[in-house]
Chain A
Amino acid sequence: MANLYTDNRDLKFHLSHPMMQKLVMLKERNFVDKDDFDYAPIDFEDAMDSYERVLEVVGEISGDIIAPNAESIDAEGPRVENGRVIYAKGTQENLDALVKAGLLGITLPRRFGGLNFPIVPYIMAADIVSRADAGFVNIWGLQDCAETLNEFATEEQKERWLTRVVHGDTMAMDLTEPDAGSDLQAVQLKATWSEKKGTWLLNGVKRFITNGDGDIALVLARSEEGTRDGRGLSMYVYDKRNGGVTVRRIEHKMGIIGSPTCELVFKDAPGELIGNRKMGLIKYVMALMNGARLGIAAQSVGISEAAYREALQYAKERAQFGKTIINFPAVYEMLSVMKAKLDASRTLLYETARFVDIYKTYQHISEERKLTTEEREEMKEFQRLADIFTPLVKGITSEYCNQNAYDAIQIHGGSGFMKDYAVERIYRDARITSIYEGTTQLQVVAAIRGVTTEGYLKQIRVYEKMELRPDLEKYRRVLISLTWDYEEAVEKVINGGDNEFIDFHARRLVEMAGYIIMSYLLVLDANRDMEYARSAQNFNKMAKGEVKARAEFIRASSLEDIGHYKY
């Protein structure tokens, strides 16, 4: 009976961020659709009202159907019969409910039957569904792939594929292979043009494919014979109705058990080329991965929320030594830190989603008309921000959700180790978030550009100049001082002129930037709503300790030290 949207005021708070006005105006092209579509908004308030009402439906389905199904799905899991995946019973129920409610193709344009929502409310829906069942969200969240088709396919292709996604066809992104995991340049699945059949034929094996038996798959394949690197790869769309792909097995996983992770065998499976040959990895997979990374960040925040709530509830109910355990400093501190990490994760998530939203919307507008000089500048600015914030938010939120799941079990004590409590599942589900769609270590490889190009610093300066209530000034002073530490550390590492030295400290530098950015965002949240004053304060204290520790480490570090770590 719970509604996971309305019972969480943080969501509405982030949905009503001041930047939404601009974002919605852009996304709705000044509400031009209102004469052609009876469900298109009339104005800004109408659009916001629609997002909220639809999120209420997401919250209701999540509370009434998805969350109650999570336990049985985790126990039952999907299975393979005759090369096809059969979902757990609850998974199918969840999916049917969401399809009936019209919650697929949320961000797609209305002309293909989508809701034309910005990324912010879509990510919010993913945040909500993840809290209910982090394993299930993968299947539903793969509608992200449609966004890549919307970006790079021809109008005629979009017409054929996107309309099917809106009607409930599920998707998959077939990238990984046994010998091509983090290093996708090594992909070997072969695409050959068949004159006789007038189509590309795909042959080979894919592994670790989430929802690998989905109706429509985007497949990365080697179209250029004799090539060995990323430049020989193209992107194809495969239609399950055409046959040619069988599921050899599904993995037995530690967590997100409801989400079938498949090994696929392609035998002359027909594929349709998307965009240009040779651009598969370089351009399309990059776009796909960035969307997916934001999705994993939403999943991580949803998991953090679930973990925090389970822990809080338990701590309020469990009594030991004559009082409920929430009254013990060791427990309430743990809970407050969990909450601070949760709030920090979420504020960074929606900040990033807004950056991505504005950049992507400008990109779509540029296909319709020429952008003005200012618009083009703005698009580039937001693209730059989206590019450096996406790996940052994926890396940090996934690590935090693991920490929060760990602490949630700790608060449950021995009970948390038992299958009787939801935290046990949450803990297992959390573990994958810092691994798939690029490990945290690989997010750092992408994010370090934000350090070296001063992208993070530039944005920190923007936050630094924001108007604040006098009572929040003290946090700004702390953050200004931490920014000095950060700049000093960056200078030392970069000026060292050694790439290995940069790689060695990269995570530390990215995390320092992350702490400062999240702390600023929480202070700004507190500036808008006093509810966040507590997390703003607690996170600011934590940020100080964490940034200072890293600064000290770097201060005391020299190139020679690396030798002590090497094998």
Chain B
Amino acid sequence: MDKKFTKIGIPRAISYYNNYPFYYGFFTSLGIEIILSDKTTTKTINEGTKYVVSDTCLPIKVFTGHVINLINKGCEAIFIPSIQSTGYKINNCSKIRGLPEIIRNVIDKPFTMIEPTLDKTENINFKDFCTQTANALGITDKQEIKKAINNGWKVYNSFIEMTKSGVSYTEALENAINGKFIKKTVDIVKPLSVAIMAHGYNLFDDRISLNLIKKLEKMDVKVYTSVNVSREDSLKAIDNIGEVQYWANELELTGTAAYYLLNEKVDGIIALSAFGCGPDSLMVDEIAYHCKEAGMPLIHLTIDEHTGEAGFITRLEAFTDMLLRKKRSILTKKSEKTKEYIQNKNIVEIKKEKILTSSIK
């Protein structure tokens, strides 16, 4: 059977940020060339905003913009997965579940949509998800698909191992795709460290997050993100903090924040979410409640397409200043506690006696 498509377009948004290493390994093994859309710019957002209704959240607008970008590049097949649930009754946000539905109805241009479904509640598991994708591209050989899935996991796992050791997201992604493996052996110590709880598609998109990670690193702050925490750790942390996983992407938010809240590695937590995000409104509130009890500072930054950079920086600076002052006061209090007052006054007198006796001698 001859292949229908030799190229596939992947929009640089939503599931790209978490799953791209897997997609890369999978599609290259199948012999399909990947065309990525350009990085997000203000133009991308404006393009997307033209097509969807105004109540839609920023990430979906960005996604639409990327799809338009791919169509303009001449892409015939575009990969738009519908990730419904990642476990029994652990569902995604409706808008991510309905991504193909939105794109099908708002963009009226000729292109083929590769729209596999992952729905573990309805017993459509990951293997079916990959098979659907391959079938839609015209590949039906089971052995070939199996090989591609394995290759996908290979790239993905090396990416995860790298990020867990502390390699930054972009560096790890680059190396994983080139088949290299690096590991950080020395942990750089900085005066402050914070954990960021945010969806990958918000945080690692430089335009949406307004370069949040780089800005913090410039302020001498060490940043921990969701990719630094393993899946098992974040599941355990959610359980330990007394919550139950409800959303599919809860591991990135509640999991990460709970992990760092419990192991006291960080001085503060930054929550970054898009305006009007349904799951975030609940998850950030949960974490805010636990942070209040534990005395951990938390700042909730909301972003939309109009967010100005100046106000954003001011809030970040104020937060880091506050963290620094808090840390200093804790350290001085600790040093005060180290002085011990001696109860027994006789010691001085006994010493005097000793001195006297020795002087006589």
To the question of whether A and B form a pair in one complex, the answer is no
